Homo-oligomer: A and B are copies of this chain.
Amino acid sequence: MASLIGSSSEGADLRPKIGDAGPCPYHYPCLPDGLKSDFGDEWGKIVVHHEPLPKRSCIFRENQEFDALFAIRSGCVKKYRLQKSGGEQITGFNFRGDIIGLSGIANGAYATTAETLDTTSFCEIPFAQLERRARDLIGLQHKLYSLLSEHMEAEQQLMRILRTPSSDCRIAAFLVYLTEAYARRGFSSTSIRLPMSRTDIANYLGLTVETTSRSFSRFAREHILEVDHRDIRLADPDELQRIAGLCFL
C-alpha cells in the first residue's frame, strides 16, 4: 500500500512526534496550569527532573510503593497490569502534559506499570510534599481533585466504548480520542502517528489484532482514513466522528 500521508514515507521522521516539539506544557516545568503565580519558585524545589528514558523502560511498576506522581514532558507511555496468564492488560496511554500515577494515591501502591513507548522525559512530583503544600494552597488541592475527576471520567468513557460490540465504533472512538488529545497539545488534528502497536490498541479496546487491523483497512477502503502503517490521516473526520458517536448512543 503506497504512502497516502501528506509527506513522503521518510517524512515520518520529519513530522514531529507527539511530545517532541514545542515549549514545556507547564508554565513552570511540570507545574499544573494556572498555579504558577501562587506557587512561584517553590515548585522547583519539589520537582525532580529526569533524563529522557529510552523506549520500553518503566517509569513505575505495578504494586511498587507509591510515593510520587509523574508529569510527562515529552514522549508517551502505556499503562498496563499483568494478568495471571502472563499477558498484559493495557489500561491507558498517556502523552506530553499528562500526569500519571494517580491510581497509586488511594491504595499506596501503583495499580499499573507505566512503560515508555518512545524516548520519554518526565518530572517526578514527590507526593508527600505535594500533599503537604496542597493543604495550604487551595488551588493545588483543587487541581489534584480535578486530575482525579478527569481520570475517573476517562474510565467511564472507556467503559462506554467497551460496552459497544462494534469494532468500528471502538476504533473510531479511540482515534477520535487520540486525535483530540493530540490537538489539545497543538499537533495536527488530521494527521497523526500512532505511538502504539496494533496489538496494544486491540488489547486496550478488547478486540483481537485481526479485527483491529480489519477495521483500519475498512476505514481506508471507505476513504475515512488513509493508513500507512502507524501514520494515520483522517480523510473524513466527520464520518469518523459519526461512527465514534455510536458508542454513546
Inter-chain contact A145/B87, CB cutoff 8 Å: no
A220 at interface by CB-CB < 8 Å:
no
Copies assembled: 2
Chain A's interface size range is: 20 to 34
Interface residues of A in 44-86 (CB under 8 A from B): 81, 83-85
A130 at interface by CB-CB < 8 Å:
no
A153 at interface by CB-CB < 8 Å:
yes
Inter-chain contact B156/A106, CB cutoff 8 Å: no
A188 at interface by CB-CB < 8 Å:
no
Chain B, Cβ-Cβ closest to A87: B249
**With A87-B249, A106-B148: A159-B159 Cβ-Cβ less than 8 Å:** yes
Q: Which residues of B contact A160 (CB under 8 A)?
A: 89
Which of B108, B156, B206 contacts A111 (CB under 8 A)? Answer: B156
Q: Which residues of B contact A111 (CB under 8 A)?
A: 152-153, 156
Question: Which segment of A6-14, A19-27, A28-36, A161-169 sits at the interface?
Answer: A161-169
A119 at interface by CB-CB < 8 Å:
no
Scan A190-207; emit 1 where CB is below 8 A from any B CB, else 0.
Answer: 000000000000000110
Q: Which residues of B contact A164 (CB under 8 A)?
A: 206
* Minimum CB–CB distance for A121 against chain B, Å: 27
Which residues on A are within 8 Å of B, measured CB to CB?
81, 83-85, 87, 89, 91, 103, 105-108, 111, 135, 145-146, 148-149, 152-153, 155-156, 158-160, 162-165, 205-206, 248-249
**6 cross-chain pairs, A with B, having the tightest CB-CB distances, nearest first:** A163-B206, A106-B149, A162-B162, A107-B149, A85-B249, A106-B148
